[in-house]
């Protein structure tokens, strides 16, 4: 399968690394040859129909910060859209930054790929949270596959899990910790009794929180995931503005102490149910599946037949997120046979 990656940051590089690690194994196990034919970052691209060497590309990006410095095949100034016009490929991996204002440039990249008959895999929440229906319908109209497991919970299996493993069950609601950064902050506050600001600073020093932490701490990132789950698993037709969002920046050590006295922890919980779409700090029992620490993500799906099913996993990380992208690519290749 000829793959084109747009966006070569943490996740894009993770995908290249995973290709490098697993290419032979995947050829053996699935008779699938993963061929990287084009990669773009914000400054340029590299295009090669014979295939780009992932190890050399990673080295080049690390050394100069540009994929276009790849020997012989690099081209400066080529944009993602240019790439999609010129390259022959089978599947687009869209991993540019999440934009929750208009979903761009990812939205245009994905639509263009679909409209020209290509499959799309993404970890990008923005366009899915703003215009899920448009993307799903465009994929359907063009008879291509659209997979986005990595967009919710990174390596934590949830979308394909609900759609495939739990198929036949009706999913009545989903409750989950869908953001690793806030879970880290709240867990540390509970353990150390430290203030919110102090703990946020610590998380920033450890690169767990971003310099501008708004999307995470104000619940916006989790709200995007709530929308994706509502649309993809619960067949709702909702967008970002339908979610009631409250973040964690007002949580105080005193409130955590009060909760502890009653055997509760405070966690930022995303709720997807037919009654409510909500991201807010909630009380969870200390012994419950939601009592996970660090940057872990967790989600409980309430089903009619299987009762409650809970999944836990790493919500972020370069290789971890790439693992979900790889599994989407493999499942596309299976359906192409």
| Interface residues toward another protein, by CB under 8 A | 175, 246, 250-255, 257-259, 261-262, 264, 266-267, 269, 271, 280-284, 288, 290
Provide the binding-site residues for ligand NAP, judged by CB under 6 A: 6-12, 40-43, 80, 95-98, 105, 123-125, 150, 154, 316-317, 321
Among another protein, ligand NAP, none, what binds residue 246 when CB lies within 5 to 8 Å by partner kind?
Answer: another protein
CB of 64 to another protein, least distance (A): 47
Nearer to another protein, 64 or 257 (CB): 257
Among residues 285, 313, 290, which one has the least CA distance to residue 300?
290
How far apart are the C-alpha atoms of 337 and 333, rounded to whole Å?
A: 7
CB of 273 to another protein, least distance (A): 11
Nearer to another protein, 86 or 276 (CB): 276
CB 251 within 8 A of CB 189: yes
Q: Determine the length of the chain.
A: 337
Nearer to another protein, 9 or 253 (CB): 253
Q: Is 225 a catalytic residue?
A: yes
75: β partners: 45
CB of 6 to ligand NAP, least distance (A): 5
How far apart are the C-alpha atoms of 140 and 117, rounded to whole Å?
A: 10
* β-strands 2-6, 296-303 pairing: unpaired
Among residues 214, 169, 148, 180, which one has the least CA distance to residue 312?
180
Nearer to ligand NAP, 5 or 251 (CB): 5
Task: Single out the catalytic residue among 125, 225, 267, 314.
Answer: 225
Among residues 313, 310, 286, 265, which one has the least CA distance to residue 175?
310
Among ligand NAP, another protein, none, what binds residue 283 when CB lies within 5 to 8 Å by partner kind?
Answer: another protein
- Using only C-alpha atoms, what is the Rg of the chain? 20
Among ligand NAP, another protein, none, what binds residue 127 when CB lies within 5 to 8 Å by partner kind?
Answer: none
> Please, what is the Cα angle at 60 between 106 and 54, to 5 degrees?
70
Which residues are catalytically annotated?
225
């Amino acid at each position: 399968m000829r793959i084109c990656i747009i966006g070569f940051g943490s996740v894009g590089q993770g995908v290249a690394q995973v290709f490098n690690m697993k290419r032979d194994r995947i050829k053996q196990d699935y008779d699938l040859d993963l061929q990287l034919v084009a990669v773009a970052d914000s400054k340029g691209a590299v295009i090669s129909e014979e295939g780009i060497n992932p190890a050399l590309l990673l080295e080049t990006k690390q050394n100069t910060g540009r994929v276009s410095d790849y020997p012989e095949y690099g081209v400066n100034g080529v944009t993602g859209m240019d790439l999609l016009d010129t390259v022959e490929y089978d599947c687009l991996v869209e991993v540019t930054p999440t934009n929750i204002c208009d979903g761009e440039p990812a939205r245009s990249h994905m639509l263009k790929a679909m409209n020209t008959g290509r499959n799309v895999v993404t970890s990008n929440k923005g366009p899915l949270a703003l215009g899920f229906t448009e993307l799903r319908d465009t994929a359907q109209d063009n008879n291509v596959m659209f997979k986005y497991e990595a967009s919710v919970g990174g390596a934590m299996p949830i979308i394909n899990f609900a759609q495939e493993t739990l198929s036949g069950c009706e999913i009545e609601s989903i409750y989950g910790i869908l953001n690793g950064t806030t879970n880290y902050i709240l867990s540390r506050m509970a353990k150390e009794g430290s203030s919110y600001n102090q703990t946020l600073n610590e998380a920033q020093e450890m690169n767990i929180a971003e310099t501008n932490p708004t999307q995470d701490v104000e619940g916006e990132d989790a709200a995007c995931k709530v929308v994706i789950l509502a649309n993809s698993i619960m067949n709702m037709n909702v967008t970002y503005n339908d979610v009631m969002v409250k973040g964690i920046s007002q949580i105080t050590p005193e409130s955590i102490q009060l909760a502890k006295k009653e055997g509760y922890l405070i966690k930022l919980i995303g709720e997807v149910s037919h009654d409510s779409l909500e991201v807010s700090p909630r009380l969870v029992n200390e012994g419950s599946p939601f009592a996970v620490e660090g940057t872990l993500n967790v989600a409980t799906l309430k089903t009619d037949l299987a009762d409650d099913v809970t999944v836990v996993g790493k919500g972020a990380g370069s290789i971890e997120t790439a693992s979900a992208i790889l599994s989407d690519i493999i499942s596309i290749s299976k359906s192409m046979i």
